[in-house]
Chains A and B, each alone.
Chain A
Amino acid sequence: MVNPATAETALPAGMALEIDGIRHAFTLEGKPLPVLSDVSFNVEPGEFVALLGPSGCGKSTLLRLLAGLEPPDLGEARADGAAITTPDPSRVVVFQDPTLFPWRTVRANVALGLEAQGLMKTRAHRIDEALERVGLGAFGNVYPHQLSGGMAQRAALARALVNDPRLLILDEPLGKLDSLTRMSMQSEIVDLWRRDGFTTLLVTHDVEEALFMATRVIVFSERPARITADIAIERDYPRHRSDPYFADLKRRVFGLLGMDATW
């Protein structure tokens, strides 16, 4: 489907990102706690980049900066060449918790972005499309507390996709799901990305998930996070978890994360 807005401005479906010398610190009990130290990388339009690192290393902070929810202390993040200073519906985040609004039905939750942008009149049909795409077509009138964890996260995904994002930011979205739901949703997210062509950033600490889903894996050190490796995953989709290529890569990545002793 060609989005008329995209066609007019001739932008690609995916957003290009430049992360340029970002440093960021939190204030903890009056003392600065550095979380990102000089992080720089570029993302091509339509790439699927996994950010992998130990938990608490600052990956999620980086995503908040890219979403425009906070400004970095130093450095700059640019989306298609323009500095990111505020949130924008072209860059949508799916968090680890689905954070559906409990007082809204699933359909009303998915409608949130269109309501916020005043697009309900022209694009309301997109809501049911988005629900269908994540397999929740029959659950529009249900309240979030009636959904399972996987379904709630699918609803959160639909809420993001309904805005036709050019950058989808996934902050450990599958972290709290059981392993089977997780595996099937990994494939579903990859399918959505391949179909729509948006740029995807995925924060995860699951090595297998990163290798299975992404075109490129960036490995971070412990806090304060810096980049220790930038690995291209040269495998076509659909991928197979049993592929020996992944086993080799997995060993290498675990080594980078300081886990080689147990491998």
Chain B
Amino acid sequence: MSDSALPRYAFAAPQRPWPGVLLAAAVWAAAGALIRIWPDEADFTRLLSTIVFGIAVALSLLAAAGPYLPERAAKVRFAAPWAIALAVALAAWEVITAKTGYLPRPFFVPPQELLGVFVDDWAKLFECVAHSVLLLASGYALGSTLGFLTGLALGWSKAVGYWGHPILRLIGPLPATAWLPIAFFMFPTSWSAAVFLIALASGLPVAILTWSGVSSVGGAYYDIARTLGGSPRFLVLKVTIPAAMPNVFVGLFMGLSASFAVLVVAEMMGVKAGLGWYLQWAQGWAAYGNMYAALGVMAVMCSSLVTLLFQVRGRLLAWQKGLLRW
């Protein structure tokens, strides 16, 4: 960079807009024009094209403002190829569904119909998300807490390990959904049965991974802590648990994925609310637009929760950053 040695304020001349983002704005504008001008039978075509034009305007503003953004925020410009690809995909989807009818309804849905679902049914979708998140959070919190404590006890105490190991070996491989009939029969409400199933699905991997983490803690760490005057309580809290934490997080990630599967099945089978129930309901009424919308919402929900867990891990295991790549 030859000009970086010169003071920046010497050049008051305006910076050129980001070319990649400018191109993305142009492609979005073109997609908007295509949606608006080519006539079709669907509802919400105007609204969709307005939103697409809005995105084009936002992108061109970003392209103009981009060179003045701080370096951290300026990283968004690397998403320009994705923005272009999304616009192209949207236009292609629009053409093969709403414009030409190449993919038949009702199984295939044009983008504006999905948009219509969000416009008409957003309150119900929101309620379902809230319900699913509450159910998932209850089951997952319960399961991972119990799983962690179980794993810790299995790894720390010989007696618990002796009795617990065979039980875990037998029950561990059983899919949590296999418990479904028993759970709905045994528990007073379908909600508590679902919490039990999600807790089981998430707790087992957490228990097994915590246990393996605890048993792989090097003896030298304990020697050090003991010679420095550490009590057994100190050894558990300050040696065993932090040393096992990387394994615990592997278990937490596995448990989270397992809990998504069980959540949907439980909501489809017994619980009369949530995204799984919405999916089932939409399929029953052949409301495929609603189904796709619920799937999209579910994808966003699950990936946000995984991202959240990544954030927690990044914060708690910051010390690992120099040791391994992720």
Size bin of chain A's contact surface: 20 to 34
Complex contact A117–B229 (CB within 8 A) = yes
B11 at the A interface (CB under 8 A): no
List, in ascending order, chain B residues with CB within 8 A of A69's CB. Answer: 223, 226-227
List, in ascending order, chain A residues with CB within 8 A of B230's CB. Answer: 112, 116
Instruction: List residues of B (72-98) whose CB comes within 8 Å of A's CBs.
Output: none
Q: With a 10 A CB-CB cut-off, give which of B228, B230, B231, B322 has the most chain A CB atoms.
A: B228
Complex contact B322–A89 (CB within 8 A) = no
What 0/1 readout, one digit per residue, does chain A (72-104) give for beta carbons within 8 Å of chain B?
Answer: 000000000000000111011101010101111
List, in ascending order, chain B residues with CB within 8 A of A64's CB. Answer: 223
Known contacts A89-B228, A92-B228; is-contact A143 B223 (Cβ 8 Å): no
Known contacts A97-B220, A143-B322; is-contact A87 B245 (Cβ 8 Å): no
Size bin of chain B's contact surface: 20 to 34
List, in ascending order, chain A residues with CB within 8 A of B322's CB. Answer: 143, 145-146
CB-CB nearest in chain A for B228: A113
Report B276 CB to chain A, min CB distance, Å.
38
Complex contact B227–A87 (CB within 8 A) = yes
List, in ascending order, chain B residues with CB within 8 A of A87's CB. Answer: 226-227, 229
List, in ascending order, chain B residues with CB within 8 A of A145's CB. Answer: 319, 322-323
Interface-side segment among B32-40, B106-114, B137-145, B236-244: B236-244
List, in ascending order, chain B residues with CB within 8 A of A115's CB. Answer: 234, 238
A215 at the B interface (CB under 8 A): no
Q: Is the interface of B mostly helix, strand, loop or mixed?
A: helix
List, in ascending order, chain B residues with CB within 8 A of A97's CB. Answer: 220
Known contacts A87-B229, A115-B238, A117-B229; is-contact A103 B243 (Cβ 8 Å): yes
Bound-state CA distance A9–B218 (Å) is: 37
Bound-state CA distance A12–B23 (Å) is: 80
List, in ascending order, chain B residues with CB within 8 A of A88's CB. Answer: 227, 229
A67 at the B interface (CB under 8 A): yes
Bound-state CA distance A241–B185 (Å) is: 83
List, in ascending order, chain A residues with CB within 8 A of B229's CB. Answer: 87-89, 113, 116-117, 163
Complex contact A112–B224 (CB within 8 A) = yes
Bound-state CA distance A197–B224 (Å) is: 23
CB-CB nearest in chain A for B317: A103
Complex contact A93–B220 (CB within 8 A) = no
B305 at the A interface (CB under 8 A): no
Q: With a 10 A CB-CB cut-off, give which of B225, B227, B231, B242 has the most chain A CB atoms.
A: B227
Complex contact A163–B242 (CB within 8 A) = no
CB-CB nearest in chain A for B318: A143
Report B31 CB to chain A, min CB distance, Å.
48
B187 at the A interface (CB under 8 A): no
Report A251 CB to chain B, min CB distance, Å.
36
Complex contact B225–A116 (CB within 8 A) = yes
Complex contact B220–A102 (CB within 8 A) = no
Bound-state CA distance A87–B322 (Å) is: 33
Complex contact A99–B242 (CB within 8 A) = no
List, in ascending order, chain B residues with CB within 8 A of A113's CB. Answer: 228-229
List, in ascending order, chain A residues with CB within 8 A of B227's CB. Answer: 67-69, 87-89, 91-93
What 0/1 readout, one digit per residue, does chain B (139-155) give for beta carbons within 8 Å of chain A?
Answer: 00000000000000000
CB-CB nearest in chain A for B241: A103
B310 at the A interface (CB under 8 A): no
Bound-state CA distance A143–B221 (Å) is: 16
Bound-state CA distance A93–B220 (Å) is: 11
Bound-state CA distance A93–B245 (Å) is: 26
Known contacts A112-B228, A116-B230; is-contact A103 B319 (Cβ 8 Å): yes
List, in ascending order, chain A residues with CB within 8 A of B225's CB. Answer: 112, 116
Complex contact A103–B242 (CB within 8 A) = yes
List, in ascending order, chain B residues with CB within 8 A of A67's CB. Answer: 223, 227
Complex contact B221–A93 (CB within 8 A) = no
Known contacts A112-B228, A163-B228; is-contact A102 B234 (Cβ 8 Å): no
Known contacts A92-B227, A113-B229; is-contact A101 B220 (Cβ 8 Å): no
Bound-state CA distance A87–B223 (Å) is: 9
Give 23 pairs: A residue, B residue, CB < 8 Å, sorted on A: A64-B223, A67-B223, A67-B227, A68-B227, A69-B223, A69-B226, A87-B227, A87-B229, A88-B229, A91-B227, A93-B224, A93-B227, A99-B223, A101-B239, A112-B228, A112-B230, A112-B238, A113-B228, A113-B229, A116-B230, A116-B231, A116-B234, A163-B228
**Interface residues, chain A, CB within 8 Å of chain B?**
64, 67-69, 87-89, 91-93, 95, 97, 99, 101-104, 112-113, 115-117, 143, 145-146, 159, 163
* CB-CB nearest 9 A-B residue pairs: A113-B228, A89-B229, A116-B230, A87-B226, A117-B229, A116-B229, A87-B227, A103-B319, A103-B242
Given contacts A101-B242, A146-B322, 5 further A-B contacts (CB under 8 A): A64-B223, A67-B227, A69-B226, A87-B226, A115-B238
